[in-house]
Amino acid sequence: MYRKLTLILFTALALTTFLAMSASAQNFPKQRELRMDRAIPPQGKACIECHKQETPGIFADWAMSRHASAGITCLDCHQAQPGDKDISVDHEQYYSKGNMPMGEKQYFVPIASPVTPKDCSRCHPDEAKSYAKSKHANTIEIMWKLDPWLNKGMNSDNERKTGCFYCHGTVLEMKDGKLDPATWPNVGVGRVNLDDSLGSCTSCHTRHRFSVMEARKPETCGQCHLGPDHPQIEIFTESKHGDIYNAFKHEYNFDSAPGAWTPGVDYRAPTCASCHMSGSGNQPTTHDVTERLSWETQAPLTVRPQDFKPFPSGTEWSVERDKMKDICRQCHGKVWVDDFYTQLDTSVEEYNEVYFKPAKQMLGELYEKGLLDKTTYFDEGLEVEFYELWHHEGRRARMGTAMMAPDYAWWHGFYECKNRFNKFMEEARHLIETNTKAYKYPDFPNTGGDTKRPEKIFGKK
């Protein structure tokens, strides 16, 4: 009897202890720990501990990145050198706050908020060199050479910053020891940095994960390549490539190592990056999106990339076409690829000869006769009509054909070109026949943007 009672009591005690431990485990889960044991300097640990508390989102992003796995900390990207123009003055104050982790002077390191391609080139030299040659990196120069909105001051400085410059980039400037809010924050692809480098790698590899997976997805390109003037993301979504991507993207291996992303193995149909940047067939990976292009379809008159005056590519179009054909042939046969380019070339010729050149000639005649006034752009309806003929419908027609999206090639493209062209030519002929000056809008709103071209690009002229 005594033994039996002892056994019951022991069992009850063991059960009570087990339940208590289980409850304890449920109520007090162990937190994930980041063990910084890769010879990270004390200053680097100070950055991590501080941002872990002050900006937990940034810390969590970085902790999940390949950078963190390789022991790359804030300092490797943000540390500034004496004399750098973009050193953060405000950041230094954090090293004298006793209520912050490791907020002591002994951990002070000068840092710069913007991380530039020059910074990234310390570990990614080939990518930075390739990117520097691209239209992305030089897009502010291209924009200023092409865009009447900027050159004629037809929008406000803030409209530009929140719109145009968000994608194209700003020219960063310091004001009273801080980044000028008129130019920052910005991660535009052509941002002009204070160290004279061009661009922002975080346009595509967003901070602080810097994911190659993210940059391979079309939605990343669609941040900027969308809308009435260059609807590549909409065109891609309509195309067979986009249809297959949306149906099977859950099967894609977006995390394949750089340079090893393989069609038919890691993905079924291409994304934007597959064709324009990723390595495939005999083609190496490139960060120069100007490569592999045989037509310049953003230009008013379609030309070969080496003949694009705002930014000649320095390449030979036939060589670049062969590169793209090599990419295409990883999935398509030679006849298919060759016949596709026949269609594209025909569309380019028809746009140039049937729509753009006659409209351009008519516009020139109106200016010559004094029926249109060049003093202020867009204050006369025909100037807007001509601009949208090439900048909206004309681009959609060419780009829709180039990416095999029939609705954009026709209904949003050449169909709209016809309507725009007919209205433009009808009104233009009426002005010439009646020798009447075009009506001017008296209330074109919110103009007055700075028309001075950025000195860091164009020099002091």
pLDDT at residue number 37: 55
Q: What is the pTM of this model?
A: 0.88
Phi, psi of 180 (to 5 degrees): -65, 120
Q: Predicted confidence band at 95 (pLDDT cuts at 50, 70, 90)?
A: confident
pLDDT over 90 (residue 81):
no
CA distance 304 to 361: 21
Classified as helix, coil or strand, 85 is: coil
Give the number of other Cβ atoms within 10 Å of residue 390's Cβ. 24
Q: Dump pLDDT digits (tens) for 315-345.
A: 999 999 999 999 999 999 999 999 999 999 9
Q: Which residue has the higher pLDDT, 20 or 154?
A: 154
Say which amino acid occupies 325: K
pLDDT over 70, % of the chain: 92
Q: Which residues contact 4 (CB under 8 A, 6 or more apart)?
A: none
CA distance 188 to 204: 10
CA 82 to chain centroid: 31
DSSP state of 439: P
Nearest to 217 by CA among 231, 206, 228, 229: 206
CA distance 307 to 309: 6
Contact 172, 193 (CB under 8 A): yes
CA distance 420 to 213: 41
Across the chain, how many H-helices and E-strands are there? 24, 2
Which DSSP string corresponds to 354-407?
A: IIIHHHHHHHHHHHHTTSS-SSSTTSBHHHHHHHHIIIIIIHHHHHHHHTT-HH
pLDDT at residue number 194: 96
* Residues forming a β-bridge with 174: 179
Contact 179, 113 (CB under 8 A): yes
Q: Report the mean per-residue pLDDT for the chain.
A: 91
Cβ burial 35-55 (10 Å sphere, 16+ → b, else e):
eeeeebeebbbbbbbbbbeee
Q: Dump pLDDT digits (tens) for 180-213.
A: 999 999 999 999 999 999 999 999 999 999 999 9
Question: Average pLDDT of 63-68?
Answer: 94
pLDDT at residue number 329: 97
Q: Which residue has the higher pLDDT, 428 or 100?
A: 428
Task: Quote the CATH superfamily of domain 290-448.
Answer: Hydroxylamine Oxidoreductase; Chain A, domain 2 (1.20.850.10)
Half-sphere exposure of 309 (CA within 13 A, CB side): 5
CA distance 80 to 73: 14
Domain ranges of the chain: 42-113, 290-448
Q: Dump pLDDT digits (tens) for 21-65.
A: 544 445 445 455 555 555 788 999 999 999 999 999 999 999 999
* Angle (nearest 5°) at CA 431 between 429 and 435: 120
Contact 312, 306 (CB under 8 A): yes
Q: Write out the two tokens for 241.
A: 């490539």
Q: Which residues contact 12 (CB under 8 A, 6 or more apart)?
A: none
pLDDT at residue number 9: 47
Question: Helical H runs in 2-133?
Answer: 2-27, 42-54, 56-63, 66-69, 74-78, 117-120, 125-132
Residue holding tokens 């004399």? 83
Q: Range with the lowest mean pLDDT among 78-82, 129-133, 223-227?
A: 78-82
pLDDT at residue number 432: 98
CA distance 273 to 277: 5
* Residues forming a β-bridge with 178: 175
Contact 372, 436 (CB under 8 A): no
In angstroms, the Cα distances linking 322 to 76, 157, 272, 276, 329 are 39, 42, 18, 13, 10
pLDDT over 90, % of the chain: 81
Phi, psi of 448 (to 5 degrees): 105, 10
CA distance 180 to 172: 7
Q: Dump pLDDT digits (tens) for 104-116.
A: 889 999 999 999 9
